[in-house]
Amino acid sequence: MTDLFDPLELRDTTVPNRVMVSPMCQYSCDARDGRATEWHHVHLGSRAVGGAGLVVAEATAVEKRGRITPEDLGIWNDDQADALARTTRFVKEQGAVPGIQLAHAGRKASTSRPWDGSRPLYPDDGGWEVVGPSGDPWPYEDDDGERVDAPPTREMDQGDIEQVIDSFRTAAERARDAGFEVAEVHAAHGYLLHEFLSPVTNHRAGDYGGDFEGRTRLTREVTEAVREVWPDGKPVFVRISGTDWFDDRESWTVEQSARLADRLAGIGADLIDVSSGGIAPGSWPEQAGPNYQLPLAETVRETSESDIAVGTVGGITTPEQAQAVVANDRADLAIVGRQFLRDPYFGLRAADALDATDEVTGPPQYRRGFGF
């Protein structure tokens, strides 16, 4: 059997192959109500038709102030969950597993969409209050590199923290009832949970700041809350930034990521989705070529004391790459993002290219197009 099309068993859930559609923000709730639209249905459904084993919905806000933009997908009320249910049914009908990424934007909240400039929005301009572990706002810049005024970021108090934990818990319950089979906690890319993890943004004292134990506490408590309400037979993932990419200051590192992976495994997480960066401007590698984040995933996998599964994302653009990741035992899951935007049928195309069409079913309507 071709390794890329070998099923992945996680608890009682079988992912039919090792290709996952990375959660990618669509900023397409045009009514600004957090409800999924026809765009989301077609976006996610077409990737399931296209042969992905696991299709994960974009960063979905667990509370209204946790959105990045007003057009973000949300799951803080029942109407939003109901709007996603038909998509989970369709994804399953194609033989894929539906997943959802649960998220809170933290200090990167309240901005316009990328194609509208990604500018900070004040409350009187359609924005809302921004919160974070500390009172430092995201340092927005204009096209000339000049700093742009942004709404203040309020340091969260204990009540805010408890509300966020409860929001993740109730969002997971809604996602479960909407038919999702994988819940992914978003703790990467400079959003709220990553902001607590990283000393670049977490300047708190007390229980949720300071040392590794304090800075990782919120991510652990959120993951535990999600695990408590998620069915025992279904997996919980956590996406992390494997590193902040800052060697010149105290920051989040891959060694800390491996330590965190062990702690998360101990409270019931099943897979660590290893990305990187996003905590502040410049928090990216100098060069981002093919598989540029794979060494981070490998380090987490090899140095973690647990046997938690690991996925890698970033720069996977060809079937051969994805196959090599799994076949060489470098990661358990090949997580594909932008290539799925370019080619919704990447999974079927991979089966064709790897001479593995007998290992996948594929929709009968499309088989003649892919050598089935």
Element containing residue 299 per DSSP (H, E): helix 294-303
Residue 190's Cβ-side half-sphere holds a number of Cα atoms within 13 Å equal to 19
| CA distances in angstroms from 290 to 243, 295, 342, listed in the order given | 17, 11, 16
Phi/psi zone of residue 61: left (φ > 0), alpha (ψ -120 to 50 degrees), beta? beta
The radius of gyration of the chain from alpha carbons, rounded to an integer in Å, stands at: 20
Catalytic status, residue 366: no
What is the C-alpha to C-alpha distance for residues 149 and 139, in angstroms, rounded to an integer? 8
What is the C-alpha to C-alpha distance for residues 134 and 279, in angstroms, rounded to an integer? 13
| Choice among 27, 191, 208, 345 that is catalytic | 191
Strands (DSSP E) contained in the chain are 8-10, 13-15, 19-21, 54-61, 97-103, 130-132, 153-155, 182-187, 236-241, 271-275, 309-313, 333-336
What is the C-alpha to C-alpha distance for residues 118 and 299, in angstroms, rounded to an integer? 33
Quick one: which of 86, 10, 103, 83 has its CA closest to 53? 10
φ, ψ at 303 (rounded to 5°): -100, -15
Residue 49's Cβ-side half-sphere holds a number of Cα atoms within 13 Å equal to 16
Residue 170, number of CB atoms within 10 A of its CB? 17
Query: Annotated catalytic sites, by residue?
Result: 191
